[in-house]
Amino acid sequence: YLEVLQQQRGGFSFELCNRNAHLAKTAGIKAPTAMKSGTTICGIQLKDSVVLAADTFKEPQDYMEVLQQQRGGFSFELCNRNAHLAQTTGIKNPTAMKSGTTICGIQLKDSVVLAADTRATEGPMVADKNCEKLHYIANNIFCAGAGTAADLEHTTQLMESQMELLRLATGTQPRVCTVVRRLSTTLFKHQGYIGCALVLGGVDVNGPHLYQIYPHGSTDMLPFTTMGSGSLAAMAILETEYREDMTNEQGKALVAKAIRAGIFNDLGSGGNVDVCVITKDGGQIFRNMEKPCPRKFKAAYKPFPKGATPILKEEILKLCTVESGDVTMG
């Protein structure tokens, strides 16, 4: 083979061609073939120069290259896998659960009044009977939220942090339109996948403001509004009894009545009534201002007394020993 190597130095050796052909016929082993490649290059000649250009696309060879290409965006490479699992094994992809809420808000002469129920649902079940749906954003800005509880918590906490940083940076009170703009931009960027439906109210240098913000990022500026699964019943009350010259106490009574209508006519709403009044001096939340559905009867049987369950085994592990201030792990 050294003589063959010396003969073929500087050129291509064909001595393995017959061996490869024999293996392909007898053992079914296929020789490696060239991979398909694709590219685009071009060039133009000008009067005193030449301009060349080429694309930079590279076909991914393994999953790491696919991952690198999709960094910062959504990867669809598992869509075929999920579809195959759904067809062959009957595994269903998780879907969004139906949520129920009634929230509302009204704009008065010098203030804004918000209200919400306190029932948090998990599909057909009641997950929390006294959930707080009125969220603090700034001293002069609050909002009531409907939709996914986790999305509402994180989104409103993010806005609260941004508004506090803005207040410290500018030394001025944040405006309601600033919060609306940032919330609208954030929700529109995620195309409705953040389940936040908000009734936002506040009082700034321009007076009281009430906004309605949808999960896809659209906004409305209204004198009164409702959102959630019980919004139709609440809207019937507000359209009938709302007046611009109402006092704060009259406004509290009106929004509480609207929330009660949602609680009594919508299965997804329930619990108690929370109310928030926002003025130029700040906002105040009246937690559980009304309890329209109190529990009147308790279970007749008594709970099991302590010690009714026998202890089968008790074992105490000694993990460390403390001697004169020094800790010795056991």
CA distance 60 to 202: 52
CA distance 285 to 186: 26
* 3-state SS assignment for residue 113: strand
- Taking CA atoms, 180 is separated from 143, 145, 159, 183, in Å, by 11, 14, 10, 5
Which residue in 40, 101, 186, 321 is the catalytic one?
Answer: 101
How large is the angle between the packed helices 248-265 and 231-241, nearest 10 degrees?
150
CA distance 265 to 102: 10
Sign of the Cα torsion 130, 133, 114, 269 reads: negative
CA distance 224 to 210: 7
Cβ atoms of residues 124 and 108 within 8 Å:
no
> What residues contact residue 309 under an 8 Å CB cut-off, 6+ apart?
none
Among candidate residues 219, 157, 146, the one with its CA nearest the CA of residue 188: 219
Is-catalytic flag, 95? no
Catalytic residues: 101
